[in-house]
Amino acid sequence: MSSAIEIGSPIDDPRGFRRALGHFATGVTIVTAQCDGQLAGMTANSFSSVSLDPPLILWSIGKSSQSLSLFEKADCFAINVLASDQMELASRFARSGVDKFVGVQWHPGVGGAPCLPGASATFECTKHAVIDAGDHFVWLGKVERYSRAQREPLLFSHGRFGLAVDYPVLGGEAENGAVQAGSGTDHTTMLGLLWDAFTCLSHGFEPEREALGLSVSQGRVLSLIERYPGARLETIARKGYVSPQGAEEAVRSLIAAGYATPGPDGCWGVTAKGRDNVALRRQRAAAFEASRLKAFSAAELEATCKVLKALGAG
């Protein structure tokens, strides 16, 4: 308990409660349904398996959701478990008030529920039961058909998206055969090596972030507001690799803490306090990076930067 940074009542501090819930990492799904020619779809991470016999799964939907009425009328729905390259699709279906299916390919599953190509797995379900649970309804579905692809899943935690990587080999595990080569991401590929380097550096810089009083998501969002004046929430979420809800919550926290201020047309500005935080974080990041790179020669760093810039340019 001594290492806790927040302790409180969910009733008194609902945002803190939500932050604590964010410590449980999940996958990301898009739940879809069709009734009388109308389509419904929403991003959800409240998916879970329930039973193998009979084959049951569950997910939940907020009582204020605009899609609720159509899901209530539909007898079937599909759970599309998103793959690691479908972050923009997750962001699209997390928004409200737009036609989410425009330009999106799909094919009808059981009961006409849209099944999305490229998903890591799909579960086509008939409605089994609906449970009234506080400000949500819990949907139980009986799985009538499933499919899966050899694709890495998209993950979600702390209001931001992530990717699955192998747990680092510790001590003599490799020698003892506890970790088998090739069991997950191929870390001999450029993408695997880049991800390993990024996660190692990011985790190493974590104490500096904490010392400046912002979470990873808050720091990213603040830097992007400062870097892209006038950018809207969708742009901030996409460039920061966070969900629209995570970006919105980060903005609210930054405004409450005096780092950002509301601007015209749904945009935001950075206060003097916010600019100081961004500048200090960049200064500390540069010092941290220099300490990690001092073992490499100037020629090695120049060649590495050349390769990374070329890859980043697409």
Residue 91, burial from CB neighbour count under 10 angstroms (0-12, 13-18, 19+): buried
For position 171, what pLDDT does the model report?
44
Residues 195-233: tens digit of each pLDDT = 778 777 877 787 787 788 887 778 889 999 999 988 888
Question: pTM to 2 decimals?
Answer: 0.63
189 plus 291 within the same structural domain: yes
The residues, any chain, with a CB within 8 Å of residue 181's CB and separated by 6 or more, are none
CATH number of the domain to which 97 belongs:
2.30.110.10
Give me the residues paired with residue 41 across strands.
32
In a domain, 200, yes or no: yes
**pLDDT at residue 312 tops 90:** no
- Residue 226, domain CATH: 1.10.10.10
State the residue range of the domain holding 86.
26-156
In a domain, 19, yes or no: no
| The residue count for the chain | 314
Cα 154 to the chain's mean position, in Å? 7
3-state secondary structure the chain: CCCCCCCCCCCCCHHHHHHHHCCCCEECEEEEEEECCEEEEEEECCCEEEEECCEEEEEEEECCCCCHHHHHHCCEEEEEECECCCHHHHHHHHCCCCCCCCCCCCEECHHHCEECCCCCEEEEEEEEEEEEECCEEEEEEEEEEEEECCCCEEEEECCEEEECCCCCCCCCHHHHCCCCCCCCCCCCCHHHHHHHHHHHHHHHCHHHHHHCCCCHHHHHHHHHHHHCCCCCHHHHHHHHCECHHHHHHHHHHHHHCCCEEECHHHCEEECHHHHHHHHHHHHHHHHHHHHHHCCCCHHHHHHHHHHHHHHHCC
User: What percent of the chain is predicted at pLDDT more than 70?
Assistant: 90
Q: Cα angle at 92 between 88 and 95, to 5 degrees? A: 140
The encoded tokens of residue 179 equal: 């970790």
Q: What whole-number distance in Å separates Cα of residue 104 and Cα of residue 264?
A: 31
In percent, how much of the chain has pLDDT > 90? 46
Residues 55 and 123 grouped into a single domain:
yes
Q: Band the pLDDT of 170: cuts 50, 70, 90.
A: very low
Q: Quick one: tokens of 5?
A: 């940074």
Q: Assess if residue 76 is contained within a domain.
A: yes
pLDDT of residue 188: 57
- Interval 292-308: pLDDT, tens: 899 999 999 999 999 98
Beta carbons of 148 and 163 less than 8 angstroms apart: no
Question: Are 129 and 207 part of one and the same domain?
Answer: no
Quick count: other Cβ atoms within 10 Å of Cβ 164? 14
Give the list of residues 6+ apart from residue 281 with CB closer than 8 angstroms, or none: 208, 209, 212, 214, 219, 223
| Residues 237, 243, 248, 251, CA torsion sign | negative
| Residue 166 binned pLDDT confidence (cut-offs 50, 70, 90) | low
Give 282's Cβ-side CA count (13 Å radius).
12
Domain boundary among 156, 174, 202: 156
pLDDT band at 184 (very low <50, low <70, confident <90, very high): very low
Please determine, for residue 6, whether its predicted confidence score (pLDDT) is greater than 80. no
Instruction: Convert the pLDDT of each residue in 114-159 to its tens digit.
Output: 999 999 999 999 999 999 999 999 999 999 999 998 888 899 887 7
Among candidate residues 139, 156, 173, the one where a domain is terminated: 156
Number of domain units in the chain: 2
